[in-house]
Amino acid sequence: MGIVNVTPDSFAESTRTFDPEAAIEAALRAEDDGADIVDIGAESTRPGAPPVDADEERRRLLPVVRGLAGRIRIPISVDTYKADVAREALRDGAAMVNDVSGLQRDAALADVVAQAGAALVLTHTRGTSADMYARAHYADLVAEVTSELRTSVQSAVERGVPLDAVLVDPGIGFAKRPEHSYGVLARLPEIAAALGRPLVAGPSRKSFLRAASGDRDAPDRDWATAAAVTAAVLGGAHIVRVHAVAEMIQVIRTAEEIRRMVHRP
């Protein structure tokens, strides 16, 4: 899953793609580089990021979705937790909604996804960008993450989203301190087994990587990202969300070959 940010304050990129035409070109380039899905986000979800209202999110997001519809061959995912924004994006050509709130911010999002027959990614988090780190306390990391994700999945299904349209993301970097994010990566097989749904992992360029690689700016964390992506694939992730598609394709394909050989004689 190639990331395309349509925000003026993305934490992970040295250049911003706030301009719709630049974002469209970035998405098409991600496809050419080997992405299977492109994920377009118009509101930063980094810790401490200010919220964006629905009108502004539409203004940033929808021209990109419309510009890609009919031009891109891979599915378009939109990174939003707002039902009204998702409804228009799905109408305009998106096929998936990536909800970083796990239906905590706008439960009606599940109704929109169900009506559109779209796919839904539910991410584990607590609180909002402003207070997520204050809520990063776990007595049993895996048990709590899986229990809270299970509640999100149940909510989606109860509102009409077919279970086979639901994917789960354990939320690396969301309401988690570095030790929690590394713990999630290390124990992905347990999380996958407990939830029984396809797993999405998004470690790309996140700040938890500084605990091992040093105080580097986000665009300089691709080597650390490569290690985390390898761990995610070996741990059973079905989709890995990345910024540097061309580089991470090599990492992912190599890790896939290793994983494929694990159970062979």
Residues with catalytic function? 206, 241
Among 171, 154, 151, 172, smallest CA distance to 163 is for 154
3-state secondary structure the chain: CEEEECCCCCCCCCCCCCCHHHHHHHHHHHHHHCCCCEEEECCCCCCCCCCCCHHHHHHHHHHHHHHHCCCCCCCEEEECCCHHHHHHHHHCCCCEEEECCCCCCCCCHHHHHHHHCCEEEEECCCCCCCCCHHHCCCCCHHHHHHHHHHHHHHHHHHCCCCHHHEEEECCCCCCCCHHHHHHHHHCHHHHHHHHCCCEEECCCCCHHHHHHHCCCCHHHCHHHHHHHHHHHHHCCCCEECECCHHHHHHHHHHHHHHHHHCCCC
243/256 Cα distance (integer angstroms): 19
